[in-house]
Structure 1
Amino acid sequence: MSDNKYEINIDPDWFKKYALRIVAGFLLLAALVTGVKTVGPEEEGVVIQLGKYNRTVQPGLNFIIPFGFESMYKIPVQRQLKQEFGFRTRSAGTQSEYAKSSFGDESMMLTGDLNLTDVEWVVQYRIVDSYRYLFRVRNAEKTLRDMSEAAMRKIVGDRTVNEVLTVGRQEVASAVEVLLQRMCDEYENGIRIDQVVLQDVNPPEPVKPSFNAVNEAQQERETLINQAEAEYNRVIPRARGEAEETIQLAEAYALNRVNRSKGEADRFNALFESYVKAPEVTKQRIYLETMERVLPKIGNKIIVDEKGNNVLPLLNIDKVKSNTP
């Protein structure tokens, strides 16, 4: 008689049957988990079979060989990506928060005139070729970051600190964008640069007050130059106009005097020719014309004969003159 009070009898066939079902279910679940992949609408899937590129699949539900024979990398080819240099965005929104304290090594660089400047910028890019992005360059994100920093340092190193801080900012951003895209095409990393934006450009903190003083002096200089040019544009054209007017008046006066002199000379010559031809008649005509000019300027007129016996006051001459239109 056995010492055990209770005995459990397990049917070997039943155990084998249910164990096989459990294993099959586990294998089916593992196949579904590792073989069914969902690719998002902004992505495309790159399928790797036994470590080698096999195919690229489009957004939607896709199937791959399970159990690690195939794997998939999802690449966001329709999304604009960005890399930040000199700062990091903690939270994006209406009032974005940025962290800058620990990224000075990225943004501090030397200009062409051997001055230090703190340049913060953003590179916006897209992945246009997922195969090249994965297989042409190892760690494409890190490589793009290194290329962006090298391109920015090269462009800034070719310019003065005043150009980088003020008027040359847009030119620097455009030059970096062109250079970075050329480097991406050369490395064949499947990336297209959309835009390079200079977020902020400042002198280093220890020398910022000196730079601000210089900028204020330059702005004041520009203001004074603009004021002087405005005064010049107000006064000089007016003076030139007055000078031209004076010259034209003088020329007109000279022309008038010359023409009058010529006319009087011609009149005298004509009168002299008439006098040579008929002296008595010419003297009589000159006398009458002179009296015609002189008499209207005299007040009361009295005409007497040579002896003064007969007096003939011409008292109505003024009245006739005033009534004459």
Structure 2
Amino acid sequence: MDDFRTPEELFAESKEKIRKAGQDFKKYIPLFIIIFLSVSSFKGMIYSIGPDETGVIQRFGKYVRSVEPGLHFKIPFGIENVTPVKVKKIFKEEFGFRTIVPDVRSQYSEHEYYDESLMLTGDLNILDVQWIVQFKVIDPVKLLFYVRDPSNNIRNLCEVIMSRLCGDYTVDELLTSKREEIDHKADTELQKLFDRYNTGLQVVTVKLLDVNPPNEVKPAFNEVNEARQERERMINEAWEEYNKIIPRAKGEAEQMISEAEGYALDKINRAHGETERFLSILEEYKKSPAVTRERIYLENMTEVLSKIEKKYIVSSNEKSILPFIDLGKNKGE
């Protein structure tokens, strides 16, 4: 019965123990605070920069240095802050469309972005232009401290460049032959603006993906294109026929001209030869007329007689010529 205690006594005893425990805990509060501050400061001192990043360090908000990938130390308690910036990643901005799920068969948003894709061409037509701009960060300090709202400003610059270039070309050029030229010019002009406004960005590529008339005028536009294609087809067929006939006619004409020139050259050469021959005979005739006349006579007689099949030789002393009758020819009759 000596160990029996009333509830009031037990409560008082427990209260006393709690009071003593609280006094003991108060002794260790400074130690806990020191340990907590040490762990927090140590954790705030060490930071890591990824392999594709550059760390930009600010001390009380002012830029002090940049660090490369790896583990680094900084002053804790918010005195120094680090901002990692991806400098090897290729960023992409899409205009006129949005990719929801990038994959082999990407999924795109069904929303129409006409506020950024409708462009006025140089011949006062309207086209729905979809394009992309790829770029990367080459100077993180400029990107962070010289540009406010980088994403929005980059899109505005891209839209300005593409709108101006589309206004320099006709609708046919934008749809067909000048797209690569526009890509190259947009790349160059956009880089000039990036450099002018100290964005710290480098353009990787600008690419026109799709150029179409607005949905409201597509049927009429398709009819015009079909008419133009038919015209081009007829022109190509005409040129094909032209290329068949004209070269052949030119070849025949050149052949006739060559033959005529050859004939003329032959006649001229023959005439020159006859002239030289006549002049040489004339010189010989002047030296000895009788001998030359006799030689010419004999040469001509030789040429003439060689072509005659039957020859009759008559003496110059004959006074008359009687026909010869071959009576023996008819003896067998």
- What TM-score do you get using the length of structure 2 for normalisation? 0.78
Matched, 1:293 2:284: no
Structure 2 SS opposite 1:196: strand
Structure 1 residues 158 and 247 mapped into 2: Cα distance closer, same or farther (>3 Å)?
Answer: closer
Deviations 1:33-69 (A, max 9, x none): 4433211011111122222223222211122233333
User: Match of 2:50, as an amino acid?
Assistant: G
Give the aligned length: 311
- Listed as ranges, the matches of 1:1-325 within 5 Å are 3=8, 5-6=10-11, 7-8=14-15, 9-10=17-18, 11-261=21-271, 270=281, 274=285, 282=293, 288-301=298-311, 303=313, 306=318
For the 8 Å contact 1:42–1:59, the answer to whether it is kept is: yes
Structure 1 residues 274 and 201 mapped into 2: Cα distance closer, same or farther (>3 Å)?
Answer: same
State the Cα distance separating 1:260 from its structure 2 match. 4.1
Structure 1 residues 231 and 17 mapped into 2: Cα distance closer, same or farther (>3 Å)?
Answer: farther
C-alpha RMSD over aligned residues:
3.4
Distance 1:53 1:276 in 2: 120
State the Cα distance separating 1:258 from its structure 2 match. 4.5
For the 8 Å contact 1:46–1:74, the answer to whether it is kept is: yes
Counterpart for residue 3 of structure 2: none
Deviations 1:228-263 (A, max 9, x none): 444444433332332233223223323433454565
Deviations 1:90-109 (A, max 9, x none): 22232222225242222112
Bigger shift: 124-133 or 266-275? Answer: 266-275
Structure 1 residues 100 and 26 mapped into 2: Cα distance closer, same or farther (>3 Å)?
Answer: farther
Structure 1 residues 296 and 223 mapped into 2: Cα distance closer, same or farther (>3 Å)?
Answer: same
Structure 1 residues 259 and 153 mapped into 2: Cα distance closer, same or farther (>3 Å)?
Answer: closer
* Gaps in structure 1 of 5+ consecutive residues: 314-325
Structure 1 residues 174 and 265 mapped into 2: Cα distance closer, same or farther (>3 Å)?
Answer: closer
Structure 1 residues 31 and 249 mapped into 2: Cα distance closer, same or farther (>3 Å)?
Answer: same
For the 8 Å contact 1:44–1:56, the answer to whether it is kept is: yes
Structure 1 residues 157 and 308 mapped into 2: Cα distance closer, same or farther (>3 Å)?
Answer: closer
- What TM-score do you get using the length of structure 1 for normalisation? 0.80
